[in-house]
Amino acid sequence: MALPRSKKQIILAVFAILLLVIDQVSKYLVKTNMHLGESISVFGNWFQILFIENEGMAFGMAFGGEIGKYILTSFRIILFVVMLYYVNHLLKKDSTPMGVLVGLTAIMIGALGNIVDCMFYGLIFEPSTMGNVAEIVPFGQGYGKFMLGKVVDMLYFPIIDTTLPEWFPIKGGEEFVFFRPIFNIADSCITVGALYLLLFKWKFISAETKRLENK
């Protein structure tokens, strides 16, 4: 039996708020308790809380300086608005599986979590440095301009951290780390939501996309 639309809305709203709160609280705690580059071991060396600030894209990657930052933040905002519209559209259809709505909501909130960092963190935080733990400052007196805040990343899983043998082709004798990217809860929401939809709900997404194209 399909859930009533009102119940779906309540479930998705609670789910979205929960994800956003977890994302922002984790970033706030790291930002105001750790200096840049500080690491805390959670499970041995393979799971660490390692504080870095991301100038641009997900998983610690950079993108195009100040202009690139404006472009990326604008893209995230557009993505969020489009996905909000799409989720609302699917909510009106009783045939939409709840799993599809949950997956799309996770992606949408992941985008929103990093949008908050980009838009406001530069306005409300001191700069984080190797020797300074940031504090909240009066609005507008932070380290950056509107939309130019840095995204806080902290989840690091160097599951394999070793030196390759000298005989290894090309990279012999060099350090090898897997998994090297450092990310946050928002990135995780986007990745997990997208993988879930691709692996388990692709048939519905594909059919819905074709239906919209044929309108």
Enzyme catalytic residues: 153, 187
User: Token pair of 204, please?
Assistant: 């519905």
Single-letter residue type at 73: T
**CA distance from start to end of the chain:** 29
Q: Measuring CA to CA, which residue among 54, 84, 52, 86 is closest to residue 72?
A: 54
Question: Dihedral of CA 114/149/35/54: which sign?
Answer: positive
On the question of a cis peptide bond just before residue 178, with omega within 30 degrees of 0, the verdict is no
Q: How many residues does the chain have?
A: 215
Taking residue 191's Cβ as centre, other Cβ atoms within 10 Å add up to 16
Taking residue 198's Cβ as centre, other Cβ atoms within 10 Å add up to 11
Q: Which residues, 6 or more positions from 48, have their beta carbon under 8 angstroms from its beta carbon?
A: 39, 40, 41, 42, 156, 157, 158
SS (H, E, C) 101-161: HHHHHHHHHHHHHHHHHHHHHHHHECCCECCECCCECCCCCCCCCCCCCCEEEEEECCCEE
